[in-house]
Structure 1
Amino acid sequence: MDGVDALVVALALVVAAGAGWPVVAGVLRLASRSGDAGSAEPAPGTSAVGEHTADPAAGTAAPDVAPAAAQPRAEASSDGPEGPRAMAVLRGGTWIGILERLAVAGSVLLGVPEGVAVVVAVKGLGRYPELRENPGASERFVIGTLASLVWSVAVAAAARALLS
């Protein structure tokens, strides 16, 4: 690897990790403004944790679940991907995202795409307990992760094209 190749690789890693933050933040802002973004109140036809309830107009019965009053409500309702609960639950997400983009771009640059799967698996397993309890955090996690992955793979693929 000559000096120009090393410069392309270093620049790709910096752009993937650093410039990915505003890209992901922008995508999350767009998602929170969409018509299907979460809110503090459950959607019609669902309980506080998302199970479908009875719809007399459609002639359907409620599934066999515990009453909504017996289910946790405060953390279960979604406040959307930019809401305060989602952001509090996924604390450290900015740094995790930077490291994620570095690892993904590095894997692609090294020609080891399996590394992307490892990054996604570790990230998902590490966040599973928080995601299970908070739909807004889950939404933020999925949107942010996908935006981050698309950005870092695109930057690394462009750098690989320059290197060939």
Structure 2
Amino acid sequence: MSVVLVALVWVVALAASVLGGGPVTQAVLRAAARSGDPARPPRPGRSGRARGVPADPASVPVPPPPATGPIGTEAVKALRGGTWIGVLERFAITGCLLAGEPGGIAFVVAIKGLGRYPELREHPVASERFVIGTLASMCWAATVGVVANAVLVALR
């Protein structure tokens, strides 16, 4: 297998991990916020009205952004810098898997947890965002790394 092909797989995998992980993590956080809010009004089209009848958008109340929960303003403020930390985390996890060193993932998790501990202790509402975001980000990075390894094995 040529070195250029291996390098190409590495670059594509690292780019997919870093660039794709942000939208995936944000989608998971939004889904978690929707599922955990009992006071949330029903979405248009999910009420008891007849199917196929469009809802009047002007009659649907638009709730203000949540103050708590994984996408709440307090959690977002408490975990500032999370986007860059997530980028580096996904890069490191995918890189560890591609390099054949999955044990390095433990160091990434430990560094992230220890680095965020003071903020999480000071702002308990942010812990939900931290856990959900970290798991979503890590699952994405691990999936990309495993798929890239499978591609490399198939190319041998």
Give TM-score, length-normalised by structure 2: 0.76
State how many pairs are aligned.
124
Residue of structure 1 equivalent to 2:144: 155
Task: Give distance in 1, aligned partners of 2:73 and 2:152.
Answer: 43
Q: 1:124 aligned to 2:113?
A: yes
Cα distance in 2 for partners of 1:107, 1:36 equals 37
From 87, 94, 99, give the equivalent of 1:105: 94
1:133: Cα distance to partner? 2.3
- Looking at structure 2, the residues matched to 14 and 7 of structure 1 have their Cα atoms a distance apart, in angstroms, of 11
For the residue of structure 1 that corresponds to 2:125, the secondary structure is helix
Give the Å deviation of 1:108. Answer: 0.6
Structure 1's consecutive aligned runs of 4 or more residues displaced over 3 angstroms after TM superposition are none
TM-aligned CA deviation for residue 36 of structure 1: 5.9
Q: How far does residue 135 in structure 1 lie from its aligned partner after superposition?
A: 2.4
Determine what percentage of the aligned residue pairs are the same residue: 56
2:22 maps to amino acid:
W
1:98 and 1:83 map into 2 onto residues whose CA distance is 21
Q: Which has the higher helix share?
A: 2
**TM-score normalized by the length of structure 1:** 0.73
Structure 1 residue 162, shift from structure 2 partner: 0.3
The answer for the alignment partner of 2:124 in structure 1 is 135
User: For 1:90-114, what per-residue CA distance to the aligned partner results, in whole angstroms no more than 9, with x for missing partners?
Assistant: 0000000000000000001001011
The one-letter code of the counterpart of 2:150 is A
**Which residue pairs with 2:8 in the alignment?**
7
> What RMSD in Å do the two structures reach over aligned CA positions?
1.4
- After superposition, residues 1-164 of structure 1 pair within 5 angstroms as 2-35=3-36, 79-164=68-153
Structure showing greater relative contact order (alpha-carbon pairs closer than 8 Å, 6 or more residues apart): 2
How far apart are the structure 1 equivalents of 2:132 and 2:105?
16
Any unmatched runs of 5+ in structure 2? 39-66
